[in-house]
Amino acid sequence: MSLLDYFRASRPKSASIAKERLQILVAHERTRNQPSYLPQLQKELLEVIRKYINVEQDAISVNFEQDDNQETLELNIVLPDYQQTDRGLHV
Amino acid sequence: MSLLDYFRASRPKSASIAKERLQILVAHERTRNQPSYLPQLQKELLEVIRKYINVEQDAISVNFEQDDNQETLELNIVLPDYQQTDRGLHV
């Protein structure tokens, strides 16, 4: 299954949901025990994202999973509505 | 299928491959036509990653997929080997 297929399979089926979304997944496959840097990385990733889009804190959902040799971080961001004007698109 | 399951399914089966890996996926579900910012975002994501790990350019593989209403960016990074010394672990 390709990556694009995975995202297609996991997104909501309803055509009425026309929100823009940004999803970021980080997987760290570990071979040794060490402190996780994903929580700090998550913070910096969101700072980068905010350079591109004006996103509120409550529009972001975070999921962190961990097992013996892998940890994954999932950020789901619902992008804000936009207004279309004569001068173009404004988020 | 959970996110962790997806990464489990997609990683190499061979137990002999013990490299650490970091995988970053970004999916942008779009509802309107606009310039993509994922290539620029990719550059900044790698800059953030380099704050945490010393990774060479040739250890990074990039895959970018696009269809009518979604684009995905995939970064696969093989982390450098480490040396274990009396003083601890050094990447």
Please report residues of A whose CB lies closer than 8 A to that of B51.
Answer: 44
- pLDDT value, residue B17: 58
Q: What is the mean pLDDT of chain B?
A: 78
Instruction: For chain A, say whether B30 makes contact (Cβ under 8 Å).
Output: yes
Instruction: For chain B, say whether A48 makes contact (Cβ under 8 Å).
Output: yes
Q: Which of B3, B9, B67 sits opposite A25 (nearest CB)?
A: B3
Please report residues of A whose CB lies closer than 8 A to that of B30.
Answer: 20
Find all residues with CB under 8 Å of A16, minimum gap 6, and list them: none
- The DSSP secondary structure of A42-53, one letter per residue, reads HHHHHHHHHHHS
Rounded to the nearest angstrom, the minimum Cα separation between A78 and chain B is 10
Interatomic CA distance for residues B72 and A8, integer angstroms: 11
User: Which tens digits make up the pLDDT trace of A13-70?
Assistant: 555 556 788 999 999 988 777 778 888 888 998 889 888 888 888 889 999 988 888 8
Taking CA–CA distances from A16, the nearest residue in chain B reads B31
Q: Is the pTM of this model over 0.80?
A: no
* Higher pLDDT, residue B4 or A26: A26
Within 10 Å of residue B52's Cβ, how many Cβ atoms?
Answer: 15
Instruction: For chain B, say whether A50 makes contact (Cβ under 8 Å).
Output: no
Within 10 Å of residue A20's Cβ, how many Cβ atoms?
Answer: 19
User: Which tens digits make up the pLDDT trace of B49-74?
Assistant: 888 888 888 889 999 988 888 899 99
R_g (Cα) of chain A, nearest Å: 16
